[in-house]
Structure 1
Amino acid sequence: MQRRSFIRHSGLAGVLAAGAAPAVVHAQANIRWRLASSFPKSLDTIYGGGDVFAKKVAEMSGGKFQITVHPGGELMPPFGVVDGVQNGTVECAHTVPYYFFGKDETFALGAAIPFGMNSRQMTAWMFEGNGLKLMREFYAQYNIISFPCGNTGAQMGGWYRKPLQSIADMKGLKFRVGGFAGKVVERLGGVPQNIPGGEIYQALEKGTIDAAEWIGPYDDQKLGFNKVAPNYAYPAWWEGGPQIDLFVNQKAFNSLSAEYKAIVEAAATYSHVEMQAKYDAKNPAALKQLVSSGTKLFRFPKDVMDAAFKESMALYSELSAKNPNWKKVYTDFAKFRAEQNLWFRFAESGFDDFMQQQKL
């Protein structure tokens, strides 16, 4: 009996019984994609999230689905990856959505906004709330489908040549700050600078900027910021839990088989969890090393925090009045944030407050 006739007449049960399933059910095409990262290769945590994703895709596909990962600037500028994915120059990118707030402020809601959510709350909004649904509806305008693919956890507030003692010290401060937070810094009298991670040290060293924030102790130590600006602030009120995304060209994703689509989603989710685990594991030792080498920690003054919060809320109201995309997503975001904070103030904060006062 010819094989084609055998399959047609035997049905799936017959195919499985005959042992022909691997060739029929699991046959998948060999695929090669390119991933453009917005991060320098030297940062094994945030850049490494793209590597982790690509390796998991290869493992789960038996090596048939290969993705090469390219650091920021290799294929395109770090802040050019949305255009690259949208136009199909590359199939996917690993980046922080708020870098692209200049296209539409709504991009920032897919990553972090000042006084937004922490990492657990953000993940809950994405996977169990309406976050992923709403952001995908928005990204569809750019021929993109998104997948959560990392989170750094709450970040530090940056490196300063001189510590901030009051809100008055924000006036005229040339501050490298990622993405959307610059809008609030500007309202506080600062001069925001949106500079890729790989270029921050040189700008800080030359005095082109007065201060700079990146992520936290582990990455900041690698980039050497403590050598040119010894004062280290906390917390980053603009990044309580910034999400990193995998952006995939919609046409490229739609061309995948159902199995490969599931592999992309699973690999991105694995990378999402693994990235924050790395940061949580590596940041404590790095902070100790920085302090022992002369780094001076300081907490943002209350008047800075209060002013930043007030200006952030005013900005969000203004955006809701003029940007329908923002209003649609932020309305849901704000409701979810309020509910999360009501819960976290009891069990989570209660436990954390007690434990962090203990000598263990």
Structure 2
Amino acid sequence: MLPLKAKCVLSGLALGAAVALSGPATAQTRTLNMQATWPASLTLYENFTYWAERVDKLSAGTLKINAMPAGQVVPAFEVLDATHKKVLDGAHAWGGYWTGKDKTAVLFTGGPGGTFGMDFTDFMGWMYFGGGWELYQEFFQKHLKLNVVAYSVLPSGPQAFGWFNKPITSVADMKGMKCRQTGIAGEVWKALGFTVVNMPGGEIIPSAQRGVIDCAEWVGGVEDLRLGFHNVWKFHYSPGVHENTTVGELLFNKDVWETLKPQEHEWIKSAANEAYVIWHAKWQRQNADALKELQEKHGVQILQTPRDILLEFIKGWDKIAEEESAKNPFFKKVLESQKAYASIVVPYKRFYFPPYSFMANYYFPPKAN
């Protein structure tokens, strides 16, 4: 028979082993309730669910994201205010929707006009190595006085120029056309002669079928295929320069964020960076498959946007950006920060990177439209 002291030691070891074996199963699970600005049918929403799944796996199930589609708690465009007020713990959204509060918001999506020639990698470079992320937090917390923390997660571009009911060869062909556009890009097109109509993505096809609009821009590729744009229009033009480097965001209520442990912060940020890269790689393949289907199955003409239209858009954006900078010091501050970063990386890449388009044309010669 063992002495009482030995029995106590063995009992303690057994209890410790039981706790160790139970591990994460006994750990307290935290759930964040977050809503997207997208319906569940869109691939943009799948970026949200991919990120949520990665957080769950990285945390071994101790941190979960209740990833809700648009409208489940609040209307899509109210998620920012709902996050600020802690109606939601957070949101999955796009900063261009907040330009009604301040036009600076669109710059944290990459902004129209090509972001001075930066691509999606360069945008994240500016965000994390050029002072962009600090400006991002300053914008929400000090400039807008919102109790929000933000991170980039959704590289949803480059986006197409749009869909039309007739061929487009110049800006003159667009004048007077009623076209669905949104945000600051819509302001540029309006200045160039469009009759701009703003509406959510789900209303585009019904509006086109009723003759309310003649053309529309949404995203391009698989997103447009899922919404059925090919059932209304047969002329699809790309590229565009209105959202060629456009990035969506994760928003968190700042009070909620500060209750999370440092390790939980790292899981969230690591999953966001992974979603940014891996989801985008998958999405580009989905877009390629979608364009093939649009052409071969639905008879859509995939056409190249005339360069003059792209140039006129950039000039129009520069004019609006100049006007906004003159009256909005914070807009100017962010825009100049982006340009300063781009002035370093863009010329370097133009010189140092191989000519991908040259090699693409060699191996896959473009077909005549």
Max Rg structure: 2
Structure 1 partner of 2:347: 342
Structure 1 partner of 2:178: 174
Q: Are 1:285 and 2:286 an aligned pair?
A: no
Q: Are 1:77 and 2:75 an aligned pair?
A: yes
* Equivalent position SS for 2:207: helix
Q: Which consecutive segments of 4 or more residues in structure 1 shift more than 3 A? A: 17-29
Structure 2 partner of 1:302: 307
Q: Which stretch of structure 1 is more off in the superposition, 87-96 or 329-338?
A: 329-338
Structure 1 contact 86–249 (Cα < 8 Å) conserved? yes
Distance in 1 between residues matched to 2:25 and 2:294, nearest whole Å: 51
Structure 1 partner of 2:358: 353
Structure 2 partner of 1:11: none
Distance in 1 between residues matched to 2:251 and 2:57, nearest whole Å: 20
- Cα deviation digits, residues 205-235 of structure 1 (max 9, x gap): 2222221112221111111101101110111
Structure 2 partner of 1:60: 58
RMSD over aligned CA atoms reads 2.4
Partner of residue 109 from structure 2, selected from 108, 111, 115: 111
Structure 1 contact 98–112 (Cα < 8 Å) conserved? no
Count of residues in correspondence between the two structures: 343
- Cα deviation digits, residues 318-343 of structure 1 (max 9, x gap): 11110122011111012222333312
Distance in 2 between residues matched to 1:181 and 1:319, nearest whole Å: 14
One-letter identity of the residue aligned with 1:39? W
Unpaired runs of at least 5, structure 2: 1-15
CA shift in 2, pair 1:114/1:59, >3 Å: same
Structure 2 partner of 1:49: 47
Superposed, 1:173-192 pairs within 5 Å as 173-192=177-196
Structure 2 partner of 1:4: none
Unpaired runs of at least 5, structure 1: 1-16
Give the CA deviation at 1:299. Answer: 2.2
Structure 2 contact 225–290 (Cα < 8 Å) conserved? yes
CA shift in 2, pair 1:321/1:61, >3 Å: same
Q: Percent identity?
A: 30
Q: Are 1:36 and 2:35 an aligned pair?
A: yes
Superposed, 1:2-41 pairs within 5 Å as 29-41=28-40
One-letter identity of the residue aligned with 1:288? K
Distance in 2 between residues matched to 1:291 and 1:234, nearest whole Å: 14
CA shift in 2, pair 1:112/1:178, >3 Å: farther
Superposed, 1:204-353 pairs within 5 Å as 204-292=208-296, 293-348=298-353, 350-353=355-358
* Equivalent position SS for 1:149: strand
One-letter identity of the residue aligned with 2:111? I
Distance in 2 between residues matched to 1:188 and 1:28, nearest whole Å: 59
- Cα deviation digits, residues 240-298 of structure 1 (max 9, x gap): 12111101111110111112121111122222112211211211121111112211122
Structure 1 partner of 2:96: 98
